[in-house]
Amino acid sequence: MSGSGKVALEAETETGREQGLRLGAQLTQGGVQFRCWAPRAALVDVVLEPERTEHALTRQAEGYWTGLIPQASAGMHYRYRLDGGQAYPDPCSRFQPEGPHGPSLIVDPGAYHWQDRHWPGIRMHGQVIYELHIGTFTPEGTFDAAVTKLDALKDLGITVVEVMPVAEFPGRWNWGYDGVGLYAPAHVYGSADSFKRFVDEAHRRGLGVILDVVYNHLGPDGNYLPLFSEEYFTDRYPNEWGQAINFDGPGSGPVREFFIQNACYWIDEYHVDGLRLDAVHAFHDAGPLHVVAELSQAARRTAGSRPIILIAECEAQWVQTIRPVAQGGWGLDGVWSEDFHHAVRVAATGRSEGYYTDYRGSAQEFVSCVKRGFLYQGQRYQWQGKPRGTVVSDEAAEGFVFFLQNHDQIANQLWGDRLHHKVGPSVYRALTALLLLAPETPLLFMGQEFGASSPFLFFTDFPPGQLATDIQQGRKQFLAQFPSYAAPAAQDAMADPCAPSVFERSKLDWAERDRHAGTVAFHRDLLRLRREDEVITQQRRDLVDGAVIGPSAFVLRYAGAQRRDRLLIVNLGPDLDFRPAPEPLLAPPAGHAWSFRWSSDDPLYGGPGVIEPLTDSGWRIPGGAAFLYAAREETPVESPETTVKASPNRQEQR
């Protein structure tokens, strides 16, 4: 940071400055210092535009080129010319005002006046994550427009906003996973400072911001890294999205620095509170210290005393992602649990095709997932024909991120429709209650909190041609792993990702938030329970026990201090008459009675009306519903005769 940027987070700037950006264009008192890595070039010049004056850089060790140009200043445009040939944008450009193919902009990182001086940072415990895509979150699709919705998220009970990738990409819209300018926030979302303003405004409201970053591949259009060095990529490892990143081969030292510095850059210059690392199972590194572990250490040094959270998406479900580096892990704070989502999808839809093949959606799967984080911890996975997952031991519940929906899982369907469109409202409310009251960290996808009707489809904006055709065909082939989507009629009906209508249809309609007030209240009340209930808020999976009580029904028992337990009952099937009740978890703690606290059937939420499961004669549990009970100490009785009269009807004693 420089200039007025030092106002924020002063306590940790000394540590953070050690990790400051060392590549790209850096402002100094004598002009602008340029530095890039081009090990095979014989000559590198900086071309200042629009005058197109050229200034030679000096070669240093390991193929780095550097030079101080007094004539350069903030607001000017530039490119690098290699060996007297074509000029290209800076791989470490802080902003690309004309997109990834245009010139780079010299940016003063200290020009923005931060207001988050007293922001304390965030830790994993207690967080509720909200994933959003800037381009479709609002009609305008900009950082500044997204700021106007932050109050609604705060009111709901969200604590952390997870922003899908914003690195510069080609075209007018993109999911962000085709990013190519990894240091430049996409110009279609706003100016160089608008993302900083978004983070600043989130902090002002008490919301953290984490950024989704993609370090396993780059997009197919606008990737200039290979022109600067062929060592950025490797064919030694498979990669379903293109060439793998060279993290461990010849010349990999500067490559590691490029990506690790990028992680530190967002934390330092943009004050983000952490990162979500996309598909870490595709990070190939056979070296002594895995690149993700090195990244996690560097990111925390950059943040200094400010706590941050680092979360992995890992399809292989490697628990080492969240183990300390000192114990052979990668030192992250959280990892997505695909198992929970897949079990939910099968339970809700009854379909187990494609990569849902190895799930039954059974009550036992939910109990096991809540207690153990992952379902697959080394068992054979039929879909892949090999073992999947690693053994979970004492890792904290907060380290596993649960979700009913996310960008991938909504879009990986024919119509991109949301889960609440596939299942009845009662069952959906019960599943949501499980998500938001489980000890693991919950994630909501944008619009989920108000039952958005808009789909979320896969969209890109490549011009007509071979690349656009390849993208469309690749999407069809990917979805063909589901037999129903492989049918000719389904393949013909599949939307063209490059059609403008696909992007427009994926935008949220915020008027629905008012029209679906009951759904909003439902989420708000559950998040308040999660935040304020003294037992639920512990987030201790080791203090949760569970049992199956019916084909689609189960209970979770949360152990509380002084026997103030909680009991969550979830029934995803029809009405269940559980009399007699030979399940010890249904018995209240000694000297206590169950006190009814909450029901997903409340008419306020659009439910049919509350019928308490615990009756004079035992448990009769309505179908498609969730219920929460709290253990309350019984009123002392005067005599055995009184005890006999009181015991058959515990509800009268609440």
The per-residue pLDDT for range 470-511, each reduced to its tens digit, is 999 999 999 999 999 999 999 999 999 999 999 999 999 999
pLDDT of 525 higher than 50: yes
Residue 14 in contact with residue 121, Cβ under 8 Å? Answer: no
Class of domain 543-653: mainly beta
Confidence at 12, pLDDT banded by 50, 70, 90: very low
Once rounded to an integer, what is the mean pLDDT over residues 627-632?
A: 97
Question: Residue 616: exposed, middle, or buried by beta-carbon count in 10 A (0-12, 13-18, 19+)?
Answer: exposed
For residue 638, what pLDDT is reported? 55
For residue 17, what pLDDT is reported? 36
CA dihedral 77, 83, 84, 87 (to 10 degrees): -30
Residue 294 in contact with residue 260, Cβ under 8 Å? Answer: yes
Percent of the chain topping pLDDT 90: 92
Catalytic residue flag (residue 509): no
For residue 428, what pLDDT is reported? 98
For residue 51, what pLDDT is reported? 86
For residue 637, what pLDDT is reported? 56
Residue 123 in contact with residue 170, Cβ under 8 Å? Answer: no
pLDDT of 88 higher than 70: yes
Each residue of 364-389: pLDDT tens digit? 999 999 999 999 999 999 999 999 99
Residue 95 in contact with residue 105, Cβ under 8 Å? Answer: yes
Catalytic residue flag (residue 358): no
For residue 239, what pLDDT is reported? 87
For residue 2, what pLDDT is reported? 35
pLDDT averaged over every residue in the chain? 93
Residue with tokens 């009609």: 139
Catalytic residue among 131, 193, 278, 461: 278
Each residue of 323-334: pLDDT tens digit? 999 999 999 999
Rounded to two decimals, the pTM is 0.93
Q: In the chain, list all ranges with CATH 2.60.40.10.
A: 3-105
Average the pLDDT over each of 5-14, 408-417, 468-477, 598-607 and give the range with the smallest value: 5-14
Residue 62 in contact with residue 55, Cβ under 8 Å? Answer: no
For residue 641, what pLDDT is reported? 46
Once rounded to an integer, what is the mean pLDDT over residues 448-474?
A: 96
Sign of CA dihedral 383, 384, 390, 396: negative
Once rounded to an integer, what is the mean pLDDT over residues 192-210?
A: 97
User: Taking each helix axis from N to C terminus, what angle separates 338-349 and 363-372, rounded to the nearest 10 degrees?
Assistant: 160
Once rounded to an integer, what is the mean pLDDT over residues 595-619?
A: 97
Sign of CA dihedral 412, 417, 418, 424: negative
Distance between start and end Cα atoms, the chain: 59
Each residue of 256-287: pLDDT tens digit? 999 999 999 999 999 999 999 999 999 999 99
Separation CA 567–CA 428 (nearest Å) = 19
pLDDT higher for 523 or 639?
523
pLDDT of 7 higher than 60: no
- SS3 of 355, please? helix
Chain CA centroid to CA 564, Å: 33
Asked whether the bond before 226 is cis by omega within 30 degrees of 0, the reply is no
- DSSP letter at 462 equals P
For residue 465, what pLDDT is reported? 94
Once rounded to an integer, what is the mean pLDDT over residues 69-97?
A: 97
pLDDT of 14 higher than 60: no
CATH architecture of 3-105: Sandwich (2.60)
For residue 13, what pLDDT is reported? 36
Separation CA 272–CA 196 (nearest Å) = 9
Q: Beta strands 87-88 and 53-56: pairing type? A: unpaired
Q: Beta strands 614-615 and 44-49: pairing type? A: unpaired
**410-416 CB contacts, 8 Å cutoff, 24+ apart:** 410/445, 410/455, 410/456, 411/456, 411/457, 411/458, 412/478, 412/479, 413/479, 413/485, 414/479, 414/484, 414/485, 414/490, 414/493, 414/494, 415/455, 416/455, 416/456, 416/457, 416/458, 416/495, 416/506
For residue 8, what pLDDT is reported? 34
Catalytic residue among 45, 269, 294, 313: 313
Per this entry, what is the length of the chain? 654
pLDDT of 648 higher than 60: no
pLDDT of 19 higher than 60: no
Chain CA centroid to CA 159, Å: 13
